[in-house]
Amino acid sequence: MKVKDLENLNNEGVDSLSSKERRRFLQFGLSITGVFLGGSIFSLTSALKAQGALRGGNIPVTDFPYSPHYTMVIRQNHCIDCERCLEACRSTNSVPAHGYRTTILERSVPIAQDQRERIFMPILCNHCNNPPCVRVCPTQATYKDETNGIVRMKPEKCIGCKTCMAACPYNARYFNEENRAIDKCDFCYDTKLKESGGKITACAAACPANVRIFGDLTDPESDAYKLIHSPDKVVWVLRPETDTLPNVFYMNA
């Protein structure tokens, strides 16, 4: 149907809508709002369930499985690609020159005809709640920390099969030739969190534009919690179709 045809139609008004249809419409709206506003929903429900919610399905909301439940919010429109986060990560975690734990991708997104927007998108391990890398590891060299949900490594157990690298949808892992094991972001658990009581990661501390907000999803006072639960902001995750339930969230704020 063309726009002109639509304009010629009579307005039926809302009086003729049945209460059943109204309810369905409201449920649909609430579902969409829930999907975009609830950080816990992104973290705990699968992509399929989220898609189901978009179609008017039910979203089971449960407690966060970890305490503290570490997360990172990336305010990507603040990123200027200064790469201080990358340098901080390298120096703090002794990352060799041949690898990286985090990097910044440069995107060129079409916004109108012949117009593109340049966006810098920092990426790192998403510390997924359903991590394919953990599932495939034959020796439990990589594992999900039962306390805080960080996907960590025990390098001494790594046999170098690189299946986790092949399984990771985020290209978040590399093989460290120095200790002959896979290396990845652990939210600076070994180098900062464990020693300083779990406050902030090296990359978040180094960022001059507050792009990377590290925090705890179970702590309402945490900046990350507040951002994810801001009702006026849209939150999203990378590659939701892979059903990994990431704990790194993206937003423009």
Distance CA 90, CA 156 (A): 21
- Contact at 8 Å (CB) between 169 and 239? yes
Of 58 and 252, the one with the shorter C-beta distance to other proteins is: 252
What's the min distance (Å) between Cβ of 40 and other proteins? Answer: 23
Chain-centre distance for alpha carbon 251: 10
Omega prior to 110 cis, within 30 of 0:
no
Of 162 and 194, the one with the shorter C-beta distance to other proteins is: 162
What's the min distance (Å) between Cβ of 124 and other proteins? Answer: 13
Distance CA 182, CA 176 (A): 6
The rounded radius of gyration (Å) of the Cα atoms in the chain is 21
Of 54 and 109, the one with the shorter C-beta distance to other proteins is: 109
Of 242 and 247, the one with the shorter C-beta distance to other proteins is: 242
Q: What is 12-72 written as a DSSP string?
A: --STTS-HHHHHHHHHHHHHHHHHHH-HHHHHHS-HHHHHHHHTT--------SSSS-EEE
All residues at 6 or more sequence positions from 166 whose CB lies less than 8 Å from its CB, including other chains: 136
Of 49 and 229, the one with the shorter C-beta distance to other proteins is: 49
What's the min distance (Å) between Cβ of 135 and other proteins? Answer: 5
What's the min distance (Å) between Cβ of 144 and other proteins? Answer: 11
Angle, alpha carbons 252-28-247 (nearest 5°): 40
Of 167 and 253, the one with the shorter C-beta distance to other proteins is: 167
155, 159, 219, 148: which is closest to 187 by C-alpha? 148
Site for other proteins, rule CB under 8 A:
98-99, 105-110, 121, 123, 132, 135-141, 156-163, 165-171, 173-175, 177, 180-181, 238-239, 242, 244
What's the min distance (Å) between Cβ of 15 and other proteins? Answer: 43
What's the min distance (Å) between Cβ of 29 and other proteins? Answer: 27
